[in-house]
Amino acid sequence: MTVTGQRVLPGPGGLCQKGWTSAQLLNTPGRLTTPLIHGEPASWDEALDFVATKIKEYEPDQVAVFGGGGLTNEKAYLLGKFARVALKTSQIDYNGRFCMSSAAAAGNKAFGLDRGMPFPLADLRNADAVLLAGSNPAETMPPFMKHLTNAQLIVVDPRRTATAEMAALHLQPAPGTDLALALGLLHTAFINSAIDKQYVHERTTGFDAAWRVAAAWWPERVERVTGVSVQDQRAAVELLRGNAFILSGRGTEQHASGTDTVSAWINLALALGLPGRKYSGYGCLTGQGNGQGGREHGQKADQLPGYRKIDDPAAREHIKQVWGVDDLPGPGRSAYELLDALGQDIKTLLVFGSNPVVSAPRAKHITKRLESLDLLVVADFVLSETAAMADVVFPVTQWAEEDGTMTNLEGRIQRRTKALSAPEGVRSDLELINGLATRLGQPEERFPTEPEDVFTELRRASQGGAADYSGITYARLETEELHWPVPSEDHPGTPRLFLDRFAHPDGKARFVAVDHRGPAEPPDDEFPLYATTGRVLQHYQSGAQTRRIQELNQAVPEAFVEIHPDTAHRAGLEAGGTAKVVSRRGEMQAKVRCVSSMRPDVVFLPFHFPGDGRANVLTNPALDPTSRMPEFKVCAVRLEPA
């Protein structure tokens, strides 16, 4: 294990700091063990009856469900079924919309299929070079770094992160200019004869249209727009010759042009001949525990189980037969649009595995929308900031107290086995869903409470879909590593997609012609700095869990803002002092950290903290037109002494 300041990096097979402290959550002070109605303890029957009675007062689409990318496959599946069958609502989405939706949209366009990594992680160990676009795994997922020890790293990030410190080459573009950089690298690859012409001809279509855009992004123009030197652009392309991977993360996705930006990185990978080859490729790093599986089985507004599209007539017929129903609602609102409609078109919200008070963009506005609801129901094991606002809170089990499956970023389904019993008074999310569904008139057997029973039904629902789990059983997962699709019980799984063909009907990948248009809110005289947000090693997502662990909270107890020393001086700030960071949507306060490697026009804020330290009070909810991803990663701000 290597310790660098406050950064703790695991050796091979190790856990990160969040991992080895996670068991402390099981008995954390403040653990919820009884339902609450308006803050007062109640029995489960009282709370379930109260919620079901209120729900019956509304039309179906006046009731919404907001899920989470940390839910098991079984929970995500049954939650989607509950929304569409018991509630009959189209209004369901989840916080994974804020995570991988742009990469998923770009992957579907290019390859005809979205699986975060269409190859095993172990393949990365054979790479000569790996380009990480907008990802900082040394802090956000340290165990992943053991797969990168043999490769030359190229890191694309406005900050000099822990990952960038390990890189052979750090490209430091201005926030919101990744797309211009990717276009420039494609231009350089073409001019320097790095394009794999045979691969492009045999395995892809659409290169000419993509090249017509990239042809206008000569290196000097790219340098002016991004700040990345011509020399570094050429060095990056040279490193990517040979066995190479391009991996994207939230930093390149969480933009109003996130889908196009990911498409530009995929175009570069295709031009170099990387996807669909062993020990080369393109992949996306997931951000949540079940970020892949959570979007495959129906808690996303436009999807049905098996990664089917909800507006596909054949998909709808298949799911109606599996569920034994005559009709299904159509697609609903995306996550931010759903939250923005609370208290207006939507009167009741049920939240599972999410904390939007802290994690949603334009968080102050979303908090007001939550306050305007007639009924807010939250299932959680601690009183998160969102649960603290709820009319009804249900205490549910944690990871060690339940069975289930998760699907990791490489499409591998992992069995999670119950290790201990939950405290008295705590029930599983599956039991909660069953209790509400039966009170809404559904037959009890339609909503099983045993995870394996739910998974058995999930297998049938996913059969024939893109994410086909039909050949997977709990018994097989005890002894086998299975990557979807697994269409039969004698099928070995598919660890490497696209080796022979891509998932489009003609078997070829698609170049997508995209152009740079910049952030939705560039800096100006009133708000002269770019603000970008992200995670730190010790905390996770909204921090509702990690802020309760003493070791983690002592390491990073409060919000901070990283600023170049010259920028701090111009704003009248000193290291260790408190800054007020102001955007058009609100303001927050943070302790000043002066970092000489920061770009002078950029400030960085972690988004794990509540109250006056909520970074997402600042962020811009401008949405990507395809993925509906908000622009978390760049907004215009100014600094003031607090």
Residue by residue, DSSP assigns 600-626 as TTEEEEE----GGG-GGGT-EEEE-TT
The pLDDT value recorded for residue 2 is 33
Closest of 282, 280, 268 to residue 207, by C-alpha: 268
Distances (CA, A) of 178 to 222, 247, 602, 621, 627: 10, 13, 15, 19, 17
Q: Residue-wise over 232-242: b if at least 16 C-beta within 10 A, else e? A: bbbbbbebbee
Distance CA 329, CA 81 (A): 11
Which CATH architecture best describes the domain 101-285? 3-Layer(aba) Sandwich (3.40)
Low-confidence ranges of the chain (pLDDT < 70): 1-14
Give the integer Cα–Cα distance in Å for 69 and 114: 16
Structure tokens belonging to residue 97:
């919309």
Sorted by where each begins, the domain ranges of the chain are: 31-94+296-483, 101-285, 529-641
The kind and range of the H/E element at 4 are strand 2-4
Q: Is 529-641 a CATH 2.40.40.20 domain?
A: yes
Instruction: Name the pTM for this structure.
Output: 0.94
Tokens for 341?
């409609």
Give the C-alpha separation, 541 to 453, whole Å: 30
Q: In the structure encoding, which two tokens stand for residue 247, read together?
A: 């991996």
279 CB-contact burial (10 Å; exposed 0-12 / middle 13-18 / buried 19+): middle
31-94+296-483 belongs to which CATH class? alpha beta
User: How far apart are the C-alpha atoms of 624 and 626, rounded to whole Å?
Assistant: 6
CATH topology match: 101-285 vs 529-641: no
What is d(CA 482, CA 470) in angstroms, rounded to the nearest whole number?
Answer: 12
Amino acid in position 394: F
pLDDT at 13: 57
Question: Which residues are CB-contacts of 419 (< 8 A; sequence separation ≥ 6)?
Answer: 400, 401
Q: What's residue 3's pLDDT?
A: 30
State residue 598's pLDDT score: 95
